[in-house]
Homo-oligomer: A and B are copies of this chain.
Amino acid sequence: MELKEGIPLHKQISDWLKDRIESGTLKQDEKLPSENELSQKFDVSRVTIRRALQTLENEDLIYRCQGLGSFVTDQRSHHSFSILNDFSEELSDTSMTASSKLLSFTQKELTDRNDILSYLDMQNKTHAVEIERIRLGDNQPIAYDITWMPIFYGQLIEGFDLEQYTIFHILEKEFEIPIERGCYRVEATLADEVIAGHLEVEPDTPLLLINRISYTIGDKPVYFQQRYYRNDKIVFELMADRRANPTSGEGNIPLKEFAPVFKKEME
């Protein structure tokens, strides 16, 4: 087995094993080669092998037993079911028409935002594209968001009409980069002066803050988004189900959905 230069050995090895597990070459509960065998195979020290195996253990791809060996974890339990929407899809089921107002499209150095850099898995780079938008439904402000993207993805969408199309849409339809997974984080917050202005609400109005990291194939992060929703315009609904998935006819895998629900005007 040959390893490249420039990429950490332990990463190459864990990636190699990950491939083997995810492709099914190594099946469930199958024993991995021992640490000594692996270190001989790759001609690296046992410490490096252990570093690689620990990565897999942390990601719950393998489990290890002292005196026995390392084994492949049950793969099935990790996948979840739910829907991933972009903003226009969120609004598509309502009578409202979605649009956006582009406030800025700039390149920024995120030296003081290590959180974003780590979300986007940007090891050495600090430059990113920052996109600031107001989201409208029937020309009324519904949300305000800032999106950060690695330059690689940011340059792709440059020139496209972001007032008409979503990033999601451009990446998927124009460049065939599908967004496969998203991690949402929901909090409550208050509108500061700037955001209140954008959303046309009073300062200190409660807002829903949803942070989202979107990933494409291979769990590669594409963008990190911080979105403030007007609480009087939108709430989120989620169905959690303990019953079996009706389509698959399988066992008791919980179904879930995270769909926005729009409040009706009360005037």
A residues adjacent to B (C-beta < 8 A): 54, 58, 63, 65, 68, 71, 75-76, 78-84, 90, 93-94, 114-115, 118, 178-190, 204, 206-209, 231, 235-243, 245-248, 250, 254-267
Contacts and interface: CB of A to CB of B under 8 A. Distances in A.
Nearest to A51: B54
B246 A247 contact: no
A152 to B, nearest CB: 21
Contact of A237 (B75, B114, B183, B254): B183
B114 A63 contact: yes
A214 to B, nearest CB: 9
Contact of A263 (B65, B209, B245, B261): B261
Contacts of A78: 185
Contact of A255 (B82, B90, B189, B267): B82
Contacts of A184: 237-240
Contacts of A65: 114
Given A189-B206, A238-B184, A79 B256 contact: no
Most buried by B among A94, A241, A262: A241
Nearest to A76: B247
Nearest to A207: B188
The 7 tightest CB contacts between A and B, nearest first, are A188-B188, A188-B206, A259-B260, A184-B238, A186-B236, A84-B240, A182-B240
